Structure 1
Amino acid sequence: MLATLVVVSCVLVTCAYLLLPARQQLPPGSQLPGGPSGRPILGNLFDIPPYHSWFKFQEWSNQYGPLFCLNIAGRNHVIVSTEAIANDLLRERGNIYSDREQLPMAAQLLSDNLRPLFLPYGETWRNVRKLMHNLANVSVAASYESLQEEESLRAIRDLVREPGSYETWFERYSGGLILRLAYSKSVSTGKEPLIQRILAVLHNVERVASPGAYLVDSVPALLRLPPVLAPFRREAARLHSEELDLFRTLLKEGVETSQERSQSDDNFCGKWFSNKDSYNISDDQAAYAIGTLFEAGAGTTASAMMSFTLAMTLHPSEFAKLQHEVDSVVGNGRIPSFSDMPNLPRVRAIAKEVLRWRPVTAGGLPHMLTKDDVYKMDDGRSVFLSAGSNVHPVQWTIHREPLRYPDPDSFRPERWLEKEWPTYREPLTHYPNLQNFSAFGFGRRICPGLNIAERSLYILIARIAWCCDIFQRQSSNGEALVPPSYDYTTGFNVQPKPFAFDLTARPDRREILEAQYEENWVRNEETKQNT
């Protein structure tokens, strides 16, 4: 009995030594950031809700200010709640704020240090990022517009025919586009086994990487447990095997398909393979880089379109204004195209406001600080931030900063269109746009698929406004069935849970839609079969 007590005491003392924050010698004139007090050893571990934690972060931000600190089992987490501070740290000081903590479950066990999203900042990350930039930068993204117009046409045609399956059509729209660009693969229904397999990988990443999903991320010492005592290790090994097999197979097939085509028709895999030696990355790293572009483009674009539909259902007057703009620019006789975008500022404003109002990655993605730093706040305080801190730019709170976004909880597209709002910029032929918008992250870790996602949102929003009417569904006694403003899924990326609305084709426009679909899809398919 005495021996057992001695062992337990030694374990507790060791844990306390490892987990309690060490006393630090602060630079002269600096102070530690404030924040909620926590429990011994565990800190704030159990103060953070298991899902939708950004609501709690916003509450703490109101109490402790725009830069505060949490202790989670001995690990330092700095919460950033304004865009100015996020840009100062993560963009302007990106050389020391661009690392990622190697969380055991998502980065190490699930991804085997291959997924670019979780790679540490260094030479490998730069090489992988170079590939992703070359495939999706702003000049290259413009060459993908014809495919985006094709996919958006099909999405709206099926949305009109079967609006209740809107989630499927939005996922097929975004996922089908990236599949064509990356692997030269087409999808028809959006329910094919390949699509379901890819979406399963995507949803697994979102679930596994969600804050608080696995205790091992807060207590990394659990990694030392043997697999028989660590079910999370067995789960991660199975999931990694599935996604590695998927990404390897897609890369191999993508390269083979590309080699059968002309260089001008190269997919992402072919573009990598033809310049393979210049990237200095392994085949598996390339497979994950291209697969990650699918993850980034497919899930976030579909989620944003679901939030757009929710916003238009809740705010019919805003949808009417959107339709008026599109009609005045495009007219009745043709479907909007990318050439119309400079003259459609409200389309762009609504896309931006959707991402502000309901950010897909509401909790943000943490960056890790690699060197001690001191940041001077607007109130004159010099705040010390220690190396190894995880710095969280919480998008939900950043997008609700009252000075930058007055009336922050309301859906107000005019904040991007009218001079009296702080976020207004000219000329409206260029602004608003999504370039460097905080919804896509900050600094060197900004989403590499931004330029593709931006165009995908613009063209689909414009075409829905031109082709469709959206209504609140009526109950049997004639009352409007208003969906909840925030009933969202849990996880790393979030989207509204299924909600009721009605959608129909606008008068005289279904014929134009069907004729355009016939020309772009049916005849093209017949041409392919004949050749």
Structure 2
Amino acid sequence: MLATLVLLGAALAVVVYVLQPKQKQLPKGTQLPSGPPGKPLVGNLLDIPPKHSWFQFLEWSKKYGPLYSLNLAGQKHVIISTEDIANDLLRERGNLYSSRMNLPMATELLSRNLRPLLLPYGDTWRNGRKLMHNLANVSVATTYEPMQEEESIRAVRDLLRAPEKYETWFERYSAGLILRLAYSKPVVTGEEPFVRDVLAVVHTVERVASPGAYLVDTFPILMYLPYWLAPFKREGARLHNAEITLFRNLLDEGVKVGQAQPGAENFCTTWHQNREAYDLSNDHVAYVIGTLFEAGAGTTASAMASFMLAMTLHPAEFTKLQQEIDKVVGADRVPSFSDMAQLPRVRAVVKEVLRWRPVTAGGLPHMLVKDDTYEMPDGRSVFLEAGTAFHPVQWSIHREAKLYPEPDEFRPERWLDPGWPTCREPLTKFPNLQNFSAFGFGRRICPGLNIAERSLYILVSRVAWSCEISCQKTAAGDDIVPPSYDYVSGFNVQPKPFPFALKPRQQRADVVEREYQRAWGSREAKTS
């Protein structure tokens, strides 16, 4: 009995030693970032809410400043709460702050170190990023605009016919576009098995990579458990086998279709024609192209759901948006990409939606690979230790009162009126989403930014041109006002289904139908 107690005591001592953060000798004149006090062993782990943790992060920033530290069971984390600090560290010092923490469940077990989103900074990541850039840079993204116009007119037509299925139409819009670009696979209903399979992969990685989703991410020592004692390992193997089989099949099909059908070139054929230039295995390429789908599909649909919520809650802003579009476009045709330079309010509304309700509200953590020091705005010099995870929390960054006055209010004018600190001119170019914090920072900025930007502009403009959006009414005629923030939890977030009223604007459903038939009529005839 005594021997057992001694062994347990020794084991506990080892655990305590491992979990306690080790203090380095601080460089002269520096100090550690402040932060909330933690508890023995677990640190601040139990202080973080299980969902929508960004609310708590914002409150802590008000008390501990724009750069503060957390100890999560011995793991060092730093929260970044302002855009200036995020840019100073993550962009200007990108050679130090562009790596990723290893999340055993998401990085190793689910992704097998293949998913670029989770890879550490290094040659493999850079080669994958090079391929992503060649598939989605600004000049290439403009060539995708005709396809975006086709997909957007289909989404608007179906939204007018069945507005209660808005989530389905937005998901099909974003997924259908990327599946055509990546694999030359047309999407008709959005319910095709391959569409549901790919979206299931997206939702899985969002769930698995969410902070706190798996105990092994907090206590990596659990990776030493044998397979039969570790259900998370069995789950990871099952999920990985499903997604890698899907990604491999899609890559093979994309290459074959693109080679067999003139004009059906896609991301897969673009890679295949120059594959020696990238020094990537086929599996890495399968994940690179799959990641572009992950980056574009769910996030665009989520942003569009937040747009619908914003317009339902702010009818005056919706009216201003419609007035601008009507002045430029008129009533006889739908907006097109050629109109965008003259539609600054469209771009402002999109940007404000992403600021007001960021899709990745908690941000994606970067990892520091070398000790660093940083001079804070108040003059303090703080020491930042290698191996620390840095979280640019978008919810806090987008609510910095100095940069975004009235931060909780939906104000597209902040991007249009010179009286606001974020306005830039000329309005034929600004606002835009280039280097916008909603898409991340530095070398880890979202690779699908240029595609997503155009997807949002064209669909928002066409919804506003064709639809009237308002609150639903009770039997007594009172507005049913949806909650301003009732969002799903997870890695990427969007509003839970909410009520609103939608109907076609006068005589515009006919124009939408005409454009739809022009783009899709012949394809419908072939499939009927």
Scaled by the length of structure 2, the TM-score of the pair is 0.99
Deviations 1:325-373 (A, max 9, x none): 0000000111100000000000000000000000000000000000000
Contact 2:370 2:385 survives alignment (8 Å): yes
**Aligned position for 2:42:** 42
Q: Could you say which residue in structure 1 is the equivalent of 2:448?
A: 449
Structure 1 partner of 2:351: 352
- Which AA in structure 2 matches 1:461? V
> Aligned ranges for residues 333-372 of structure 1 at < 5 Å?
333-372=332-371
Whole-Å separation in 2 of the counterparts to 1:22 and 1:121: 24
The yes-or-no answer on 1:227 pairing with 2:222 is no
Partners of 2:21 and 2:515 in 1: CA distance: 64
Deviation track 1:465-516 (CA, whole Å, cap 9, x = no partner) reads 1111101000112111100000000100000000001111111111111111
Deviation readout 1:114-141 (Å, 9 max, x if unpaired):
0000001000000000001100001100
Aligned-pair Cα RMSD in Å: 1.0
Give the structure 1 partner of residue 397 of structure 2. Answer: 398
Equivalent pair of 2:184/2:264 in contact (CA under 8 Å): no
Pairing 1:307–2:303 present: no
Distance in 2 (alpha carbons) for counterparts of 1:416 and 1:255 = 42
2-structure distance, mates of 1:385, 1:320: 48
Q: Which runs of 4+ in 1 moved over 6 A?
A: none
Deviations 1:421-477 (A, max 9, x none): 000000000000000000000000000000000000000000011111101000112
Question: Structure 1: which 5+ residue stretches go unaligned?
Answer: none
1:296 corresponds in structure 2 to 295
Post-superposition CA distance 1:214-250 (Å, at most 9, x none): 1110000011111222111111111111101110010
Deviation at 1:188, TM superposition (A): 1.0
Secondary structure of 1:23's partner?
coil
Match of 2:251 in 1: 251
Give the alignment of 1:370-385 within 5 angstroms.
Answer: 370-385=369-384
Q: Over residues 388-438 of structure 1, what are the superposed CA-to-partner deviations in whole Å (9 max), with x where a residue is unaligned?
A: 000000000000000000000000000000010000000000000000000
Task: State the match for 2:156 in structure 1.
Answer: 156
> Which residue of the partner structure matches residue 110 of structure 1?
110
Q: What is the distance in 1 between the residues matched to 2:227 and 2:476?
A: 58
User: What is the match of residue 428 of structure 2?
Assistant: 429
Q: Is the 8 A contact 2:321 2:345 kept in 1?
A: yes
**What residue in structure 2 maps to residue 79 of structure 1?**
79
Unaligned runs of 5+ in 2: none
Deviations 1:130-172 (A, max 9, x none): 0011000011000000000000000000000000000000000
State the match for 1:185 in structure 2: 185
Please report how far the alpha carbon of residue 192 of structure 1 lies from its aligned counterpart in structure 2 after TM superposition: 1.6
Report the alpha carbon displacement of residue 529 of structure 1 after superposing the two structures with TM: 7.4
Q: Partner of 1:194 in structure 2?
A: 194
Residue type at the aligned position of 1:516: E
Question: What is the percentage of aligned positions where both structures have the same residue?
Answer: 67
Q: Which moved more, 1:424-433 or 1:226-235?
A: 226-235
Shift of 1:16: 1.4
Task: Give the distance between the partners of 2:498 and 2:227, measured in 1 at CA.
Answer: 41
Cα deviation digits, residues 70-120 of structure 1 (max 9, x gap): 001111000000000000000000000000011101111110000000001
CA distances 1:6-58 after superposition (whole Å, capped 9, x unpaired) = 11111111111111011211001000000011011211111111110000100
Q: Size of the alignment, in residue pairs?
A: 528
2-side partners of 1:333 and 1:23: how far apart? 68
Q: Where do residues 20-39 of structure 1 align in structure 2 (5 Å cutoff)?
A: 20-39=20-39
Larger displacement relative to structure 2 (162-171 or 38-47): 38-47
Counterpart CA distance in 2 for 1:94 and 1:265 is: 37
Distance 2:393 2:514 in 1: 45
Displacement of 1:189: 1.1
Shift of 1:191: 1.5
Q: In 1, Cα distance between the equivalents of 2:511 and 2:456?
A: 21
**Structure 2 Cα separation of the partners of residues 529 and 411 of structure 1:** 44
The answer to whether the 8 A contact 2:174-2:296 is kept is yes
Moved more, 100-109 or 146-155: 100-109
Question: CA–CA distance in 2 between the matches of 1:23 and 1:513?
Answer: 64
Aligned-residue offset at 1:525: 4.8
**One-letter code aligned to 2:364:** L
- Counterparts of 2:238 and 2:527, CA distance in 1: 39
Matching of residue 131 in structure 1 with residue 131 in structure 2: yes
Q: Tell me the SS of whatever aligns to 1:46.
A: helix
Indicate whether 1:170 and 2:203 are aligned. Answer: no
**Whole-Å separation in 1 of the counterparts to 2:460 and 2:63:** 38
Question: How much does 1:265 deviate?
Answer: 4.0
Per-residue deviation, 1:261: 2.7
Letter in 1 for 2:103: L
Deviates more, 1:219-228 or 1:137-146: 219-228
User: 2 CA distance for matches of 1:156 and 1:190?
Assistant: 15
- Separation of aligned partners in 2, 1:54 and 1:529: 47
Query: What CA distance in whole angstroms lies between the structure 2 residues aligned with 1:314 and 1:302?
Result: 19
The residue aligned with 1:495 is 494
Q: Give the aligned residue type for 1:477.
A: A
SS of 2:68's equivalent? strand
The residue type equivalent to 1:511 in the other structure is D
Distance between the aligned counterparts of 2:407 and 2:440, measured in 1? Answer: 19
After TM superposition, give the deviation of residue 524 of structure 1 in Å. 4.7
TM-score, normalised by the number of residues in structure 1: 0.98
Distance 2:134 2:363 in 1: 25
Residues 237-295 of structure 1 deviation map (CA, whole Å, 9 limit, x = unaligned): 11111101110010010000011133x64100000111111100000000000001000
SS at the partner of 1:504? strand
Is structure 2 residue 8 aligned with structure 1 residue 8? yes
In structure 1, what is the Cα distance between the partners aligned to 2:284 and 2:365?
A: 22
